Amino acid sequence: MEAGRHPAARAPRAGGRPSTPDAGENARLARPPRAAAPARGGRGEHENTALAEPERLQKVLAQIGLGSRREIEEWVVAGRISVNGLPAELGQKIGPGDRVKYNGKLIPLRFTVRTPRVLIYHKPEGEIVSREDPEGRPTVFERLPILRKGRWIAVGRLDFNTSGLLLFTNDGTLANRLMHPRYELEREYAVRLLGQLDDEQLESLKTGIQLEDGLARFTSISDEGGEGANHWYRVTLSEGRNREVRRMFEAVGLTVSRLMRVRYGPVTLSSRLKRGMWMEMPEAEVCSLAGLPKPQGQAARPGEQVRKTRLHRTTPR
């Protein structure tokens, strides 16, 4: 086996427009922050026709892509959001007919269950998971299709020098579901080390390593072999702290020379998806991931959905 290749990579809402004189203003003026030009290369948004019950303000606004729940909570505290002309409150519920403004502009609300969009991206090394970088390094967002409304939210992060599976969604609620520690979604990585773990180091990594931000442990470690100074392992953990995998191996005296995420929860990186490429997750799979009812009348024969899924290779904008 070549030292530079790793065996682990084989896995590799009905509309809630108020019936007021401001309805036209609502449609004309309301724009989510950082809304972009018409979409390129993506499918349209799908909606379920069942009306939803009144929901918490931050949840509704996150679902339409205004921002993450945490950002929206900060805007509420700062007084940037109003409901029916009054300052919004944290945890406030809204329903059809309520008029919500952000920085004085009306926001079009949706009270139907909308299927989120999810992109699966194979991040190469040398890209940063941030919208802007003072150092001018390329960002993952430069590769993604432009949304008509809302924005892409990265599900977790990967370091500048880490490659592999990275998910994006236009739904803040789903992003929270995928990232919040209470859901304990497993992350799986292929790791190339300079050196090999001994039994004592293996046991320490499984039982727990004390890092500066708390105890960290791998839920599993498997030896994937290697030649010379390089040795491959596959590891899983159920949290996503900054540089956690690298820091854990450094804590037992070994250096990570290459790191690649190959799975996030139930989503596995396909061998068809090469570095720098992205694909849109099929709607039925998104519904399963988000815990939503599956779309009606779209059942596919085994293997059919895979053939219909398009892979996209883009260059940074």
* Tens-digit pLDDT profile for residues 42-62: 444 444 433 356 788 988 888
pTM above 0.75, yes or no: no
Instruction: From the candidates 22, 98, 133, 159, give the one annotated as an active-site residue.
Output: 159
Averaged over 15-34, what is the pLDDT?
Answer: 38
Which of 14-23, 84-93, 299-308 is the least confident region? 14-23
Q: Provide the pLDDT confidence category of residue 19 given band limits of 50, 70 and 90.
A: very low
| pLDDT computed for residue 183 by the predictor | 83
Name the burial class of residue 125, with classes exposed (0-12), middle (13-18) and buried (19+) by CB atoms within 10 angstroms of its CB. middle
Instruction: Give the model's pLDDT for residue 305.
Output: 47
Cα-based torsion angle of the residue sequence 42, 47, 52, 56 in order, rounded to the nearest 10 degrees: 10
Place of tokens 């293996």: 202
Predicted confidence band at 317 (pLDDT cuts at 50, 70, 90)? low
Residues linked to residue 48 through DSSP beta bridges, in sequence order:
113
Question: What mean pLDDT is predicted for residues 94-117?
Answer: 85
Share of the chain above pLDDT 70, in %: 77
Can you give the pLDDT at residue 139?
A: 94
Average pLDDT of the chain is: 81
Asked if residue 306 has pLDDT above 60, the reply is no
Q: pLDDT at residue 21 above 80? A: no
Which residue spans within the chain are E strands per DSSP?
46-51, 55-56, 81-83, 86-87, 93-94, 100-102, 105-106, 112-115, 118-123, 153-155, 163-169, 187-194, 209-211, 214-216, 220-225, 230-237, 255-264, 267-268, 277-280, 311-313
Distance between CA atoms of residues 235 and 175, nearest Å: 23
Q: State the pLDDT confidence band at 191, using cuts at 50, 70 and 90.
A: very high
Give the chain's domains with CATH numbers: 46-114 (3.10.290.10), 118-268 (3.30.2350.10)
Q: Quick check: 218 pLDDT over 90?
A: yes
The predicted pLDDT at position 53 comes to: 62
Active site residue 159: yes
Q: Which of 46-60, 106-120, 176-190 has the lowest mean pLDDT?
A: 46-60
| pLDDT, average across residues 24-49 | 39
Tell me which range, 58-67, 226-235, 306-315, is most confidently predicted by mean pLDDT.
Answer: 226-235
pLDDT 10s digits, 148-177? 888 999 998 999 999 999 999 999 889 999
Residue 111 confidence class, pLDDT cut points 50, 70, 90 = low
d(CA 126, CA 255): 19
